[in-house]
Chain A
Amino acid sequence: MWDWFYKLASPPHFYRIASALEPWLLWTAIVLLGAGAYGGLVLAPPDYLQGEGFRIIYVHVPSAFLSMFCYVLMAVASAIGLIWRMKLAYSVAAATAPVGAAFTFLALVTGAIWGQPMWGSWWEWDPRLTSELILLFLFLGYIFLRQALQETRQADRASGILAVVGVVNVPIIHYSVEWWTSIHQGPSLAKLDTPSISGDMLWPLLVMIAGYQLLFLAILATGVRTQLLEREKNSRWVNDLLTTGVIGEAAR
């Protein structure tokens, strides 16, 4: 198992696997997103209280889930990079940040679009909303810090420390609706054994989350490949790849 892990951590090996998987991830994500959107917009019945407006959860919940998932992945990858000084781990963290920022932005904006008809307000300084906004600032801080530092190693270390320290915000976002008085509704998906959402409404949501997750992985596969090309531009395997279109046997 460790052999497999060490092999995966090798940039040319990861590059090859990511190149092969990317189209499969992308097309599966597109199919799932189409099915989930159709299920959420057409097949799911309207909510007894929120009416048709509840359908916004089919884009809001996957974005919010992915925003936290991306941050945890970025922090774990950064921690691995800081401890074992792995280029691949730093590449994963750097490629995750812009996608995570996009998901966080979407979670905030779709939440605001839902809030206007339901709460009568686009924004409230509620613990869940405020901690999600802090998450967006953490992603942006990570991206700007990397851009501000010219030297790659320095950028990796500084942004890695920021990512690891900022992960404390993720449990705050998740438990904010339980720890403090909040107008945001409580968790529905975290308790799948006793679901507070009907099966007719639940399946399109799970399909949408799976679609978002696979789309993220497809984007990540391309983002990490870009990072690896830039970081390894002087290495033999990148040279082989650019001249022949394939990675040399020795680098695998």
Chain B
Amino acid sequence: MGGYARYVWSAFGLSFFVLAAILWLTRRNFAQTQKTLMRRMRSMEGTQK
């Protein structure tokens, strides 16, 4: 790719990194929300007993 290689690889590298990051963050946020709600539900069940 000659003199353009660093520009092309930077653009592709950054794009795939940001896409992977937003995918990972969204999935992590989902898993954390599930965990928080599970904990909340268990504590509520404990209070009722």
Contacts from A to B (Cβ < 8 Å): 26, 33, 37, 41, 51-53, 55-56, 58-60, 63, 98-99, 102, 105-106, 109-110, 113-114, 116-117, 212, 215, 218-219, 222-223, 225-226, 229-230, 233, 238-239, 242-243
Contact = CB atoms under 8 A, between A and B. Distances in A.
Interface string B7-41: 11011101110110111011101100110011011
A219 B24 CA distance: 9
A207 B29 CA distance: 29
A55 B4 CA distance: 9
Majority SS at the chain A contact face: helix
A110 B11 contact: yes
Contacts of B21: 102
Given A117-B7, A218-B23, A230 B18 contact: no
B30 A222 contact: yes
Contacts of A60: 11
Nearest to B9: A41
B4 A242 contact: no
Contacts of A26: 23
B3 interface: yes
Contacts of B46: none
Contact of B8 (A55, A218, A223, A229): A55
Given A59-B11, A239-B41, A223 B26 contact: yes
Given A53-B7, A243-B41, A222 B12 contact: no
Contact of A99 (B12, B22, B29, B34): B22
Q: Which 5 A-B pairs have the closest CB atoms?
A: A53-B4, A59-B15, A52-B1, A52-B4, A110-B11
A36 to B, nearest CB: 11
Q: Which of B1, B19, B40 has the most CB of A within 10 A?
A: B19
Nearest to A215: B19
B2 A110 contact: no
A87 to B, nearest CB: 16
B6 to A, nearest CB: 9
A219 B14 contact: no
Contacts of B3: 117
Contact of B11 (A114, A212, A215, A239): A114
A37 B12 contact: yes
Contacts of A59: 11-12, 15
A105 B8 contact: no
Given A98-B22, A229-B34, A242-B41, A113 B10 contact: yes
Nearest to B42: A242
Given A52-B2, A243-B41, A226 B29 contact: yes
A117 B4 contact: yes
Given A53-B4, A114-B11, A233-B40, A222 B26 contact: yes
